[in-house]
Chains A and B, each alone.
Chain A
């Protein structure tokens, strides 16, 4: 049972890692704590949901669509709104993203009602059984995607020109500007990419979790926790943080009480911030 719980936790943690990586990227580059982050997960999930329900497209195949949709949404949000407050005191961007959260979550509520929805694929019941352990294929595939996405984001930031521009801007906006980087565009790209990868997480989530318009805030909170565990702004840390949190939650749910697992999340978050603000890796940004 212990091993089963750990495996379930790792598989869950992979998903956490993906959208938390998006959160971490946005914080690392712009210092924006994106409270609307979970709503981007929700939008990604609903993109896949509708493509599946209306177009019979498998959620794994709809990943590119939700990535693209969310990229556009993210790019637009940054370009139109957040770029205007990025230089202002940080509170402005927090509140601004909270406003965006209200808009997205409640628009979704208006459009799609408060119903809980889920996708039932042909393979959703099938799983791998070995040595008494049960591993659903969908979750395994999801986990694989998750690792690929986080790794891909890391390589993207380190190996491509736009990735380097993003990192340069994160380090020193003025310097990057002098070197010909258009900060506004780079910021919008960053938010777009962060949103796109989060949209992918949403698609993955839609393949085996219930989704509903108000689901966002709790995902945002998980992202806080994951990112603080792994180190704010440090992308590979999101993977580590995601896996740790996934396992911890799974263990709490198995051995104690499912209700306690979110209380535990906050407790960990609180303790981490106080004792290890730079995360377990020690590589997080601490002002």
Chain B
């Protein structure tokens, strides 16, 4: 796995020292809040409803056990015994004191972690497929490129004050598990006919107030041109992106207002001047970084097949977990495991300090010390021998993290919402909990099949509701919470933005409304193999509207 080099070490150390000094000066009253706010935001420190919040970067969601143990330690020592994994593959702490921030950041730095560029109008944590280096369908590991982008974008002088924040995601498989088409730049790593690596480049996707699907501006960009082309895009954006209106400042608006043809022309023109310069990636450097991400030596464990077969016969719940939470690995003796942080009725994405420690132990013992955070707010063990799956399952049962619901309706993405977030209009967590409890029966969930339900507590869409098969958006209407339902969104290689189905529902009605939507799907689907999203795409919103609003829908 990638290890920080000397430059990273010195840089992070210097940044901790600098921020420590800034915090001390703030606490001593030497700098005002107005002066301090941008400084704390540059270091991932927000002020929320109840306390400060610290967002820690987990580059492309990749962690080792030592790092996860440190995250647990921070949760225990400086917070209230838990952390919240986010849709940006990061972790947030909800209760840290400002006066503890220097100590927390020093602890993080001791395991090569930090909170830099988790806020502000800069290039944020680059995200990637959480099954990178493991998934059977992958062409190549996207993380070396995410790492190259991370190094290049860290305190990039030209791109530290962009019109608005900027998010890049990379996938290395046809099946897009990184939602690249709703990012400012989405990169699809693939091979051309000659077998060379390169990227399809998507620009201008995003969620929030104005959701947009990214436009493909290049079908194949050679690997060596990654940084020069990205720089060209960022330059065009930095120069022409709107700074007059916060809500129109993302690159998606620029793409929309300029038109994709003209924007592509501008990017290509800018690139012409850059492509043969110093940003061209030397082959040797790429291979060197790639070597950092080399998968562990996976020794042959052919006994796995038999072991899994026997254990499945022994335990039905283990069998269900295998069906739902275990993904086919490149190596037939191995599997990738999703550790669901979506226990029935639990808070999506939350993990306690002791759960984190136990997961770190499992990763160390059975998972080659590798862990991932998924943008769906789960944890991943990318490499587990099939022969060890039962042991891993048993260990997860011990800590209540063996819920077999990956990709099912209770595998809900939910942002912190009004229970924590200063920007929220409505609560997200209790809605997720109610829905999870309503659909608690695993049998029922499995009958419903793949269904991505995503909830945001305001239009900023941190909960990705626009790309939920069912999306829920919390708004405030006349001082009360109201939930708008969108249907038909999707955040994969067939990205679509969900459509608002009709008037919103109160907190007491929303779970019933979701159940009505699900029951309607069950009624109209051709058969069990037709997923919710496919059925929706076939029939459209009409039967759902009819079921939700009855005659009201006809009149409208």
Indicate, yes or no, whether A interacts with B: no
